[in-house]
Amino acid sequence: MKGRVFVIGLGLIGGSLALCIKKEHPDSKIVGFDINYEQARLAKMLGVIDEIAHSIQDGAIEADLIIIAAPVTETKEIIQLLAELPLNPEVIVTDTGSTKRKIVESSLSLEKRGITFIGGHPMAGSHKSGVSAAKEILFENAFYLLTPVDYVDSAKVAALKEWLIGTHAKFLTISPETHDYLTGIVSHFPHIIAASIVRQTERLSESESLIPRLAAGGFRDITRIASSSPKMWKDILIHNREILIELLNQWLQEMNEVKALLEQENSSAIFNYFDQAKQFRDGLPQKEKGAIPSFYDLYVDVPDYPGVISEITGYLAKEKISITNIRILETREDINGVLVISFQTEEDRQRAESCIGSYSSYATSVGT
């Protein structure tokens, strides 16, 4: 395909989409806008975009495809702005937001002008942010949810998929309501639970100074998503509040049932509770990319002597294997390893495990 693509928001998602389109449709021009001009300038310097738009109006008017890669609250405002512009009547407008129903409702202003809006949500992310972290492989094998309303021409949906074919994502078409329910269950709600566990632990640590030290290692791993952007999650929760209130009510009932098992000292029921959870969790697809970005961790048992960390990272550097994070576990209950190295992909983790094994006798294991 050939045309003018306008990307609003040049962060990790917008930048990665621009790269995917640029690679698959090299004859198209990629124009970008970001409220932070330095991000736009960096995107141009890195070759993520071909041209910087100095305003949304400048970039949108002649576009054949407009991608809004902005927080959900700002996305609604941008849609209203686009509805006031003399856009190309054949343009397709899409977004990348984590909630869909309210965004799709706001797109009625575009529909009244005869402009096609197709809600989108690429379910991929990274430990890093900003356009400098953008990469073509970010969405590979990830689910990409599209939420067109009933009156959207199927040919337009097909055209959007063709624009986005370079993502190598798995496209699923569902309703905005179904999207918000499903992502509420597997993404939004777990973020609330993780944050609540951390908040409770913080309060308890006021009277017990050892808690922060003991909360290293596994505790940090199971609550890692609590480190996500507070602003982003404030907006997501407000946009999906009805579903999340319903899920919280169900969670309270679930916790009351667990509490009752403890009060009754019902050991067989408690065993069955954890056994059923284990079986369901162990049966989940291991190689699929889901709603929450995966963490590809490698645990390495290493001896305690000066320079051992630089020795390990030296092996990885020699094989040109990039890491996203590295840390030492202070406590290791139920975890094999003292050095935890995080990678961007499963392939990188496998290469690292092989690399370390070939250079040393250190024991390694993967995080599950």
Q: 223 to each of 193, 253, 292, how far by Cα in Å?
A: 9, 22, 12
SS3 assignment for 147-210: ECCCCCCHHHHHHHHHHCHHHCCEEEECCHHHHHHHHHHHHHHHHHHHHHHHHHHHHHHCCCCC
Domains defined for the chain, CATH in brackets? 4-174 (3.40.50.720), 179-266+277-282 (1.10.3660.10), 296-366 (3.30.70.260)
Q: What does DSSP say about strands 363-366 and 296-301: parallel, antiparallel, or unpaired?
A: antiparallel
Closest-CA residue to 67 (of 83, 80, 77, 78): 78
Tokens of 215: 């909360």
Q: What is the pLDDT tens value at each position of the chain, 368 positions in all?
A: 789 999 999 999 999 999 999 999 999 999 999 999 999 999 999 999 999 999 999 999 999 999 999 999 999 999 999 999 999 999 999 999 999 999 999 999 999 999 999 999 999 876 667 898 889 988 988 899 999 999 899 999 999 999 999 999 999 999 999 999 999 999 999 999 999 999 999 999 999 988 988 887 678 878 888 888 898 899 999 999 999 999 999 999 999 999 999 999 999 999 999 999 999 988 987 666 665 666 678 888 777 677 778 888 888 888 888 887 777 765 444 444 577 888 777 788 888 888 888 877 666 666 54
pLDDT at residue number 83 = 96
Rounded Cα distance, 275 and 104, in Å? 41
| pTM to 2 decimal places | 0.80
Rounded Cα distance, 19 and 39, in Å? 15
Rounded Cα distance, 302 and 286, in Å? 27
pLDDT at residue number 357 = 80
Q: In what order do the strands lie in the sheet with 170-173?
A: 51-52, 29-33, 4-8, 65-68, 92-95, 116-122, 143-147, 170-173
In terms of Cβ atoms closer than 10 Å to its own Cβ (0-12, 13-18, 19+), residue 179 is buried
- In sign, the C-alpha dihedral spanning 26, 31, 36, 38 is positive
